[in-house]
């Protein structure tokens, strides 16, 4: 009988220990991250082309909606996605670029979990309002010669390394709103190589608006293609300025991998 009592006590002791043992940590599934970088050319294209600021903002609103859809798909709390609007280097514009870029940057990882869904509409409203302010500030003259060219090459050379995410689970998208060439000045067809490498960067050039003479579209696409090949960017698409619904459809297909 003593033996039975001892066994019973041992079993009770083991049961108590088991109840007090900490539960094994839950396996945290890290979701794939999307990083949306929107680069703006705010040169004279914004006054030369009809309704250009309105078209730009409509495209950016659309990309922001794609960002929100991805965040929702990750149930908000699992999202690590980022979206940012940056301005291509440009002389003489007088725009407080850094102030606008700070406000046009959202990183879901930096937002409290309880505020991710609750503050969604407020974030969107603030983002769109800041974007409108930026374009209003950018239209400082009605004379095209008052604007300097936007240097997209310089952005690749100096700033892209800060915006590009090297997280191995990240899909990086760089959407460039520009009318054509990646560099300003007389030597716009001569592009120096970029030292930094951006593997898996997917570049989408939107609103390209070449003139109809001298096969300018072929020249523009040739310059971009040669340069991207030289710096190791294999995923790129040039979208000519057309019906905005078609442009948005192409952007969505690329981002969603269709």
Q: Which two tokens stand for residue 9?
A: 């006590």
The confidence score (pLDDT) of residue 23 equals: 53
Asked if 175 and 206 touch (Cβ cutoff 8 Å), the reply is yes
Distance of alpha carbon 85 from alpha carbon 204, whole angstroms: 14
Give the pLDDT confidence of 149-172 residue by residue, as tens digits: 999 999 999 999 999 999 999 999
First to last CA, the chain: 74
Q: Is 219 exposed, middle or buried (0-12, 13-18, 19+ CB in 10 A)?
A: middle
pLDDT in tens, the chain (258 residues): 544 555 555 555 545 555 555 555 545 567 799 999 999 999 999 999 999 999 999 999 999 999 999 999 999 999 999 999 999 999 877 889 999 999 999 999 999 999 999 999 999 999 999 999 999 999 999 999 999 999 999 999 999 999 999 999 999 999 999 998 887 765 556 677 788 889 899 999 999 998 877 688 998 999 999 899 988 999 999 999 999 999 999 999 999 997
Two structure tokens written together for 215: 């096969």
Residues ≥6 apart with Cβ < 8 Å to 219: 189, 210
Q: What is the pLDDT, as a whole number, of residue 191?
A: 76
Report if pTM > 0.75: yes
pLDDT of residue 31: 77
HEC readout, the chain: CHHHHHHHHHHHHHHHHHHHCCCCCCCCCCCCEEEEEEEECCCCHHHHCCCHHHHHHHHHHHHHHHHHHHHHHCCCCCCCCEEEEEECCECCCCCCHHHHHHHCEEEHHHCCHHHHHHCHHHHHHHHHHHHHHHHHHHCCCCCHHHCCCECHHHHHHHCHHHHCCCCCCEEEEEEEECCCCCCCCCCCCCCCCCCCCCCCCEEEEEEECCCCCCCHHHHHHHHHHHHHHHCCCCEEEEEECCCHHHHHHHHHHHHCCC
pLDDT at 12: 55
Provide the CATH number for the domain formed by 30-255 in this structure.
3.40.50.410
Q: What's the confidence (pLDDT) of residue 243?
A: 97
The structural domains of the chain, with segments of one domain joined by +, span 30-255
The encoded tokens of residue 152 equal 């997209």
CA 204 to CA 251: how far, in whole Å?
7
Token code pair at residue 230: 């030289």
Given this model, what pLDDT does residue 105 score? 98
């Amino acid at each position: 009988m003593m033996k039975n009592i001892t066994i019973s006590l041992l079993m009770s002791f083991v049961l108590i220990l088991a109840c007090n043992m900490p539960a094994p940590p839950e396996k945290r599934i890290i979701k794939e991250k999307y990083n949306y970088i929107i680069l703006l050319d705010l040169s004279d294209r914004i006054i030369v082309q009809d309704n250009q600021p309105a078209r730009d903002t409509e495209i950016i609103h659309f990309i922001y909606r794609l960002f929100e859809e991805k965040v929702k798909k990750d149930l908000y709390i699992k999202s690590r996605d980022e979206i940012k609007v940056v301005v291509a280097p440009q002389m003489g514009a007088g725009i407080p670029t850094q102030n606008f870029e700070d406000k046009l940057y959202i990183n879901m990882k930096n937002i409290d979990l309880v505020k991710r869904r609750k503050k969604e509409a407020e974030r969107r409203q603030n983002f769109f309002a800041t974007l409108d302010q930026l374009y209003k500030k950018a239209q400082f003259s009605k004379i095209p010669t008052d604007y300097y060219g936007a240097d997209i090459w310089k952005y690749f050379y100096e700033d892209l390394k800060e915006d590009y995410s090297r997280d191995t689970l990240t899909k990086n998208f760089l959407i460039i709103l520009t009318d054509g060439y990646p560099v300003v000045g007389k030597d716009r067809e001569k592009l120096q190589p970029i030292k930094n490498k951006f593997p898996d960067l997917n570049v989408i050039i939107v609103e390209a608006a070449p003139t109809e003479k001298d096969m300018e579209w072929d020249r523009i696409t040739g310059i971009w293609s040669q340069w991207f090949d030289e710096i190791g960017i294999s995923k790129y698409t040039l979208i000519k300025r057309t019906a905005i619904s078609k442009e948005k459809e192409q952007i969505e297909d690329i981002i969603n991998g269709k």
